[in-house]
A = this chain, B = another copy of it.
Amino acid sequence: MKIISTPLALKTYLKSIDKSIGFVPTMGALHEGHISLIKEAKKSNEFVVVSIFVNPTQFAKGEDLLKYPSDELRDKKICEMSGIDVLFYPKAKDIYGEDEVSVLAPKIRAYILEGFTRPSHFNGVLSVVMKLLNIVNPSKAYFGKKDAQQLMLIELMVKQLFMDVEIIAVDTVRENDGLAMSSRNVYLSVDEREDALCISRSLNLASSMISKGIMDVESITEAMREFLTPLEIYYVEILSREFEKIPQVTIGKSIILVEVKVGTTRLLDNIWL
């Protein structure tokens, strides 16, 4: 595995590679979810690039940028053992300059759900993803379904700006008890870890209602909200795959999204119906 730290060095190196490139962008603190992205990338590409970059522009003031979990040695070992070809590990100054051109997220779909309480978040996400995609120029790039709104917005960016890359959505990986894998799970105390199980269980509750033929969005989300009490709920929504409001669930075309605060930690999860 080659470790490269500047965009120019990576671009130059990758131009000498005549292979289909799969790309997995991450913010480090790697877990089974990331490993599953890497496995998917290795399946369909001759050459796999992983990036580790905790992107400052997607954190607002007061968010957890400074304490975001990081373990460089462990992350590098996981990449090495996953058999990737290149690890891109840039510094913020290699990615961002002064008075910059950036990407502006869409006015509606980036300001609901996550974007409602984190209004500049997706500008930062889309800007860094655009930069990374342009540096690596992969055939395929891999993103987790757990960050469903992020995934939808990246697919939108690629389509609307006519970018040349295929975005591959990869299923969420869960702990044995159902908790969705997240780098932020390390923030949870033992009690909070237990409380957090409500999230995936509320999604299971919704699934079982739907399997009984209850398709009404309001009834399902109300039951989920009740189940999630007393956690602080950011949102519980059932939307179309295009993230538009719907009155009824349609199998194959809907998504249930939930985010709550457990202690001081925001945790999100979703299921694609």
Give A contacts to B, CB under 8 Å: 7, 11, 97, 99-109, 123, 126, 130-131, 134-135, 137, 153, 156-157, 160-164
- The reply to whether A101 and B97 form a contact with Cβ atoms under 8 Å apart is no
**How many angstroms from the CA of A242 to the CA of B6 in the assembled complex?**
23
A105 to B104: give the CA distance in the assembly, Å: 9
- Nearest first, the 9 A-B pairs at minimum CB distance are A104-B104, A134-B162, A101-B157, A99-B106, A99-B108, A135-B162, A102-B104, A101-B160, A100-B160
Report the minimal beta-carbon distance from A209 to chain B, rounded to whole angstroms: 30
CB within 8 A of A153: which of B101, B105, B153, B162? Answer: B101
CA distance A108 to B97 in the complex (A): 13
**Residue picked from A101, A103, A109, A163, most chain B C-beta under 10 Å:** A101
The CA-CA distance from A107 to B100 in the complex, in Å, is: 7
- Number of identical monomers bound together in the oligomeric complex: 2
Residue contact A104 to B107, C-beta cutoff 8 Å: no
Add 16 more A-B contacts to A99-B106, A102-B104, A103-B104 (CB < 8 A).
A99-B109, A100-B156, A101-B103, A101-B105, A101-B160, A101-B161, A102-B103, A103-B103, A104-B104, A131-B160, A131-B161, A131-B162, A134-B161, A134-B162, A134-B163, A137-B164
| Residue of chain B at shortest CB distance from A108 | B99
A107 partner residues in chain B, CB cutoff 8 A: 99
A-B pairs with beta carbons under 8 Å apart, 30 shown: A7-B162, A11-B162, A97-B160, A99-B108, A99-B109, A100-B106, A100-B156, A100-B160, A101-B103, A101-B104, A101-B105, A101-B153, A101-B156, A101-B157, A101-B161, A102-B103, A102-B104, A102-B106, A103-B103, A103-B104, A104-B123, A130-B161, A131-B160, A131-B161, A131-B162, A134-B161, A134-B163, A134-B164, A135-B162, A137-B164
Complex CA distance for A137 and B134, rounded to whole angstroms: 12
Distance to closest chain B CB from A78 (angstroms): 26
Contacts of A153 in B (CB 8 A): 101
Shortest CB–CB separation between residue A166 and chain B, in angstroms? Answer: 14
What chain B residues lie within 8 Å of A11 (beta carbons)? Answer: 162
Contacts of A97 in B (CB 8 A): 160
Specify which chain B residues have a CB less than 8 angstroms from the CB of A156 in the assembled complex.
Answer: 100-101
